[in-house]
Amino acid sequence: MEDFEGKKILVIQTHGVETPTRTYSPLFYAMAAAAMEIEVMVWFTMNGTNQLKKGEAEKVQLVKDSNVNLKTMLEMAMDSDVELRVCQQSLELWDMTEDDLIDGVEIMGATSIIELSLNYDHVMYF
Amino acid sequence: MAHEEVKGCVILKDLHYSVQDNTWVKADGDVVTIGMTDIAQSLAGPILHAKTKSVGTARKKGRPIATVESGKWVGPVKSPVTGEIIEVNEQLAGDAQLINRSPYRDGWVVKMKASNLEAELAEMTTGEAAVEAYRQKIEQDGIACTHIDDSDTYD
């Protein structure tokens, strides 16, 4: 396997709990990148923001009877050193504040996403 | 080979384990064979792809020697030792589920020439201590191992 150490990928997730089949894959790709020693950040914006509201992700389970739900996916991603960030302006869209967010997620503004996307080696947009 | 089973999970007593990372090591001089434990393969589920780092890659302890993915999990296999990869299990490229069927034999991941083996082996667990460490982990995390068809059996 090629060595990708030092590369950086930004994953932008715009889909939320109302579309479960669009929630897992971006996190899975992010974890794969982290396993390959790629620095990876997932940026939640638009509807993606509602995944991060306390109590919501637990309700999203793709595979029946599985012990994995969206909350465990988010936790596995963070355990894999995937950084999770949320758009400040999108929080207001969903009437959310910092207190509504699950632990481990940082808030960033729009200018930060522009800076990040220019400084990362690759951006994956979902 | 002496072994013990805890909740269906096989632990071979003559291997050294990095319990936290679920890897095992078998040393032959300063050359070590490294693989995933039975618990690791069970937690991952049927493995779809296993990509190893290339021969010649230098690794410090804790850094990935391979990336493994199943339908429900993807993650690194972290090196339990410091050294250089001298051989990779080429069979895994075409049959990653070899890790599921034979985690301690044919499903080994890489061989490394270790550079700090004595000290790093001393940090791992082996024998009865390994069985007890895994027993605690299995009970604490509520793990029960499962095996796919044609998995190895142990006498």
Total length of chain B: 155
What is the pLDDT confidence band of residue A3, given thresholds at 50, 70 and 90? confident
Q: Is residue B153, in this structure, part of any structural domain at all? A: no
Q: Is residue A23, in this structure, part of any structural domain at all? A: yes
Say if B26 is an interface residue toward chain A (CB within 8 Å): no
Instruction: Examine the pLDDT at B16 and tell me if it is beyond 90.
Output: yes
Quick one: how far is CA B98 from the chain centroid? Answer: 12
Question: Mean pLDDT over residues B29-44, rounded?
Answer: 96
What is the pLDDT confidence band of residue A1, given thresholds at 50, 70 and 90? confident
Question: Mean pLDDT over residues B100-129, rounded?
Answer: 97
Q: Is residue B146, in this structure, part of any structural domain at all? A: no
**Identity of the residue in A35, A63, A66 whose CB atom sits nearest the CB atom of B67:** A35
Instruction: Examine the pLDDT at B26 and tell me if it is beyond 70.
Output: yes
pLDDT recorded at residue B22: 96
Q: Is residue B152, in this structure, part of any structural domain at all? A: no
Q: Is residue A100, in this structure, part of any structural domain at all? A: yes
In chain A, the number of structural domains is: 1
**CATH number for the domain including A91?**
3.40.1260.10
Between CA B138 and CA A61, with CA B142 as vertex, the angle to 5 degrees is 135
DSSP three-state, residue B83: strand
Beta bridge partners of residue A107, listed in sequence order? A86
For residue B52, give both structure tokens: 């190893």
Say if B72 is an interface residue toward chain A (CB within 8 Å): yes
pLDDT recorded at residue B1: 63
Instruction: Examine the pLDDT at B129 and tell me if it is beyond 90.
Output: yes
ipTM > 0.90 for the complex: no
Q: Is residue B91, in this structure, part of any structural domain at all? A: yes
Residue-number span of the structural domain to which A121 is assigned: 8-57+66-125
Q: Is residue A1, in this structure, part of any structural domain at all? A: no
By C-alpha distance, the chain B residue nearest A3 is B53
Q: Is residue A35, in this structure, part of any structural domain at all? A: yes
Q: Is residue A77, in this structure, part of any structural domain at all? A: yes
Find chain A residues with C-beta within 8 A of B54's C-beta. 1-3
**CATH number for the domain including B123?**
2.40.50.100
Whether A36 contacts A4, CB under 8 Å = yes
Tens of pLDDT, residues B72-85: 889 999 999 999 99
- φ, ψ for residue B7, nearest 5 deg: 50, 40
Q: Is residue A2, in this structure, part of any structural domain at all? A: no
How many residue pairs from chains A and B have C-beta atoms closer than 8 A?
A: 34
Say if B75 is an interface residue toward chain A (CB within 8 Å): yes
Q: Is residue B42, in this structure, part of any structural domain at all? A: yes
Question: Mean pLDDT over residues B108-124, rounded?
Answer: 97
**Identity of the residue in B57, B72, B74 whose CB atom sits nearest the CB atom of A32:** B74
Q: Please give the mean pLDDT across all residues of chain A.
A: 93
Residue-number span of the structural domain to which B84 is assigned: 3-141
Instruction: Examine the pLDDT at B71 and tell me if it is beyond 90.
Output: no
Instruction: Tell me the percentage of chain A whose pLDDT exceeds 90.
Output: 86
For residue B4, give both structure tokens: 């013990």
What is the pLDDT confidence band of residue A63, given thresholds at 50, 70 and 90? confident
The whole-angstrom distance between A35's CA and the closest CA on chain B is: 5
Say if B52 is an interface residue toward chain A (CB within 8 Å): yes
Q: Is residue A85, in this structure, part of any structural domain at all? A: yes
Instruction: Examine the pLDDT at A65 and tell me if it is beyond 80.
Output: no
pLDDT recorded at residue B93: 94
Instruction: Examine the pLDDT at A27 and tell me if it is beyond 70.
Output: yes
Q: Do A36 and B67 touch (CB under 8 A)?
A: yes
In chain B, the number of structural domains is: 1
For residue A101, give both structure tokens: 């967010």
DSSP three-state, residue A96: coil
Q: Please give the mean pLDDT across all residues of chain B.
A: 95
